Structure 1
Amino acid sequence: MKSIVLETAKIKDMFNQLQQNLGGQLNVDSKEHILSLDNEIGCGKIKGQTFKGGLSYLEFDMVFSEDFVLITQTPENSPICFAYCSKGKVGHSFGQSSEVRELETFQTGILTNEPHQDNVLYFKKDVNLITSLIVVSTAGTAATKKNSYNYRMKELFFKDNVSENSLYIGSYNLKIAEKFEELNAISQKGIVRSLLIEGFVHMILALEIQQHSDDLESEANKTGSLSLKEMDAVRELSKFISNYPETQLCIKKLSRMSGLSPSKLQEGFKLMHNRTVTDYIREVRIQKSEELIKNTDLNISEVVYSIGFTSRSYFSKIFKQKYNCSPKQYKDNQNRVAVMA
């Protein structure tokens, strides 16, 4: 078993310690740290970045060759940590002698602890793990301003403004997984990349706080939720619809493909996309049509049929509802810009 103790919460120093202990190649671009590993310890990447306002982001996308334990030491002013597991599972304990609890795929964990308390993360060998940590500082002037999110989070997650050892593990949430996928798909470089990453981190943090609120409400109302297997099926269906928008689909066919009942399908899509299955299919097609109009030489009729619509007039109607112009106007504007360029 490989074990590392991180003696700092600063991203720069943390990654230097990680490289010293794990090896690999460390690259830094616009404050984003990426440690790439392909050695006897494991294969994958560890990424991290600090943003203004005392917010940090850390992601493990790794397959370790042996069981790996990461121990972090908490400072006097304990931060609030939001963890999310996109793939696999990760264990946590307060110190090495207390109970280990596991965060499973699609679950959020919210962690607070006493000052100077060690946090221990457990990664199992030969498991493809993707887990992300968003850390909110409760130190400094930002945490004393009543309108700052640092201060408001202390009020929300600290009891009587004092941090205690606490690990909340939420229900399954696919919306957060979707946002992490979009974050990791960012291809831009430099300042644009940094701004996009920061925007997604703030959005994900909001979703994780909302998940906590929703769970408390669901517990009070004794409402049910989808299982991990059912959530995974909804996620795979969403990917299929996104990849093949031209395919003619109905609830009955999707139900048969996934093994989920129609009611479970609708519940899953409402949870993940905040819309019905039919609305999601339509939204995917409209977004795809905009890409085709903008980036290809297809005429409007060809675009309509390539994304699975059968009525050009219906397509024009919903396109205008979303983009406030007709498909023809949008294409003409694109052509005009191309000529001017």
Structure 2
Amino acid sequence: MVTLYVKSLPLKDVITNLADAFATNFTNYCHEYTLEIPEQFGEGFIRGVNFDNGFGLIEYKCLFKENICIHFSVNQIHPLKFIYCSVGEVKHKFEEQESLHLIDQFQNVIVASTAKNGHILLFPKNKQIHLNSLEISRKEFKKKLDCELSKLDVKLRKLFKDLNGRQLFYHHGNYSLNMADCIDKIQTSRLGGFTRRLFLEGKANEILSIQIQDFEDDRKSEPKRQILRKSDMEKIRHAAGMLKQNLSAPLTIASLAKEVGTNPSKLQEGFRQVFGQTVNNYLNKLRLEYAKDQILIGELNISEIADRVGISNKSYFSRLFKSAYQLNPKEFAKKVRKNSE
């Protein structure tokens, strides 16, 4: 294992220390510092950017040839970290503890060490990793907090107000899909210069906002949670399967959500994430696909098909079908017969 020792803030120092450890250089583009990992150590990059008021974002997109241990140490209060893993998995530990925390793909964690003790991140060899860490110096960041914190969760409120780092804190969050979308937009941005810096600062604020919302949602009991997680995806697919199996008498959204163990708002959001449409639109898509297949088979008449898909109003069924296939069911059946002849 290769162990590297770096400072935590400002992030320019992190990149400078890593460049020295890797015996290489780094680039500075509009205060965004990028280190390309030398070939003998692996591939990818580590990039850091500082914003005003002790606020910074560091990104690791890399694949190392050896296990890498990055040991963050400071001669002042250690920053608060909001970490999110998009690809792969890494391990985290506090300097003063032996236990390791696994940060899995799509998972976010919030960590704060006590006083001047540091953090350790362990990157496995031969594994693609994409990790973002939002770093906050709480004393400097206090200037940014121009809003009252009373609405914030009591644990987070205490954490932000712990300016002298007296509280050891570790929150192992759920799998966040909103964060994955946010990170993806950073990755696909083609902005440069000043506009990129503004964009990154906006995204850093968005990352913090998502992390706080996720934390507060995690603290709720399961039925009251509103934010869609990776763990909800199986429930969404199960719900989609139930709709397909019960076209003639589909469950209501509330009943379907209860059946798969979620709530209606998360069910709707899940269908928008996975299928790009609402539950009812997805149901109608299944109905029309089934109806089209049955007309092609030719064993049922139009009324029987409408009954099979649970639509008693034949005019409504006809309008739905025409909106999807440009012909009403009778016209479509006539065209099928003509083509077969």
Q: TM-score scaled by structure 2?
A: 0.65
State the one-letter code of the partner of 2:185: E
State the one-letter code of the partner of 1:64: F
For 2:212 and 2:107, the matched residues in 1 are separated by 12
Q: For residue 269 of structure 2, what is the aligned residue in structure 1?
A: 270
State the one-letter code of the partner of 2:110: I
Q: For residue 292 of structure 2, what is the aligned residue in structure 1?
A: none
8 Å CA contact 2:91–2:102 kept in 1: the answer is yes
Change (3 A) 1:178 1:154: closer
For 2:168 and 2:98, the matched residues in 1 are separated by 11
1:3 correspondence with 2:6: no
For 2:45 and 2:60, the matched residues in 1 are separated by 6
Measure how far apart 1:197 and its partner are.
Answer: 1.0
Alignment RMSD (CA, Å): 3.9
Select the residue among 163, 167, 170 that pairs with 1:164: 167
Q: For residue 334 of structure 1, what is the aligned residue in structure 2?
A: none
Measure how far apart 1:275 and its partner are.
Answer: 9.9
Measure how far apart 1:91 and its partner are.
Answer: 0.7
State the one-letter code of the partner of 1:214: D
Match of 2:221, SS? helix
Measure how far apart 1:194 and its partner are.
Answer: 0.7
Match of 1:99, SS? coil
Measure how far apart 1:204 and its partner are.
Answer: 1.2
Measure how far apart 1:226 and its partner are.
Answer: 8.1
8 Å CA contact 2:87–2:131 kept in 1: the answer is yes
1:71 correspondence with 2:71: yes
State the one-letter code of the partner of 1:196: F
8 Å CA contact 1:82–1:135 kept in 2: the answer is yes
State the one-letter code of the partner of 1:29: Y
Match of 2:201, SS? helix
Q: For residue 103 of structure 1, what is the aligned residue in structure 2?
A: 103
Structure 1 residue runs without a partner (length 5+): 238-249, 257-261, 283-308, 313-341
1:139-184 alpha-carbon deviations (Å, 9 max, x no partner): 24x5267626999797342687653222111011111011100011
Q: For residue 61 of structure 2, what is the aligned residue in structure 1?
A: 61
For 1:4 and 1:67, the matched residues in 2 are separated by 11
For 2:206 and 2:226, the matched residues in 1 are separated by 25
Q: For residue 211 of structure 1, what is the aligned residue in structure 2?
A: 214
Match of 1:116, SS? coil
Select the residue among 190, 194, 207 that pairs with 1:187: 190
Measure how far apart 1:132 and its partner are.
Answer: 0.6
1:117 correspondence with 2:124: no
For 1:116 and 1:30, the matched residues in 2 are separated by 30
1:200 correspondence with 2:203: yes
8 Å CA contact 2:217–2:226 kept in 1: the answer is no
Q: For residue 155 of structure 1, what is the aligned residue in structure 2?
A: 157
Instruction: Name which one, 1 or 2, has greater alpha-carbon Rg.
Output: 2
State the one-letter code of the partner of 2:125: K
For 1:68 and 1:96, the matched residues in 2 are separated by 19
State the one-letter code of the partner of 1:115: A
- Spell out the pairing of 1:1-341 with structure 2 (5 A cutoff): 1-95=1-95, 98-140=98-140, 142-143=141-142, 147=146, 155-157=157-159, 163-218=166-221, 231=233, 251=240, 267=266, 270=269, 277-279=276-278
Measure how far apart 1:78 and its partner are.
Answer: 3.3
8 Å CA contact 1:173–1:272 kept in 2: the answer is no
8 Å CA contact 1:82–1:109 kept in 2: the answer is yes
Change (3 A) 1:310 1:148: same
Structure 2 residue runs without a partner (length 5+): 246-255, 282-322, 327-341
For 1:32 and 1:281, the matched residues in 2 are separated by 46
For 2:143 and 2:63, the matched residues in 1 are separated by 40
8 Å CA contact 1:42–1:62 kept in 2: the answer is yes
Change (3 A) 1:164 1:157: same
Q: TM-score scaled by structure 1?
A: 0.65
State the one-letter code of the partner of 1:147: D
State the one-letter code of the partner of 1:110: I
1:97-137 alpha-carbon deviations (Å, 9 max, x no partner): 51111111111100111111021111110110111100111
8 Å CA contact 2:8–2:79 kept in 1: the answer is no
State the one-letter code of the partner of 1:4: L
Measure how far apart 1:10 and its partner are.
Answer: 1.5
Change (3 A) 1:7 1:80: closer
Q: For residue 243 of structure 1, what is the aligned residue in structure 2?
A: none
Measure how far apart 1:39 and its partner are.
Answer: 1.1
Match of 1:61, SS? strand
8 Å CA contact 1:89–1:129 kept in 2: the answer is yes
Match of 1:217, SS? coil
For 2:75 and 2:244, the matched residues in 1 are separated by 50
Measure how far apart 1:7 and its partner are.
Answer: 3.2
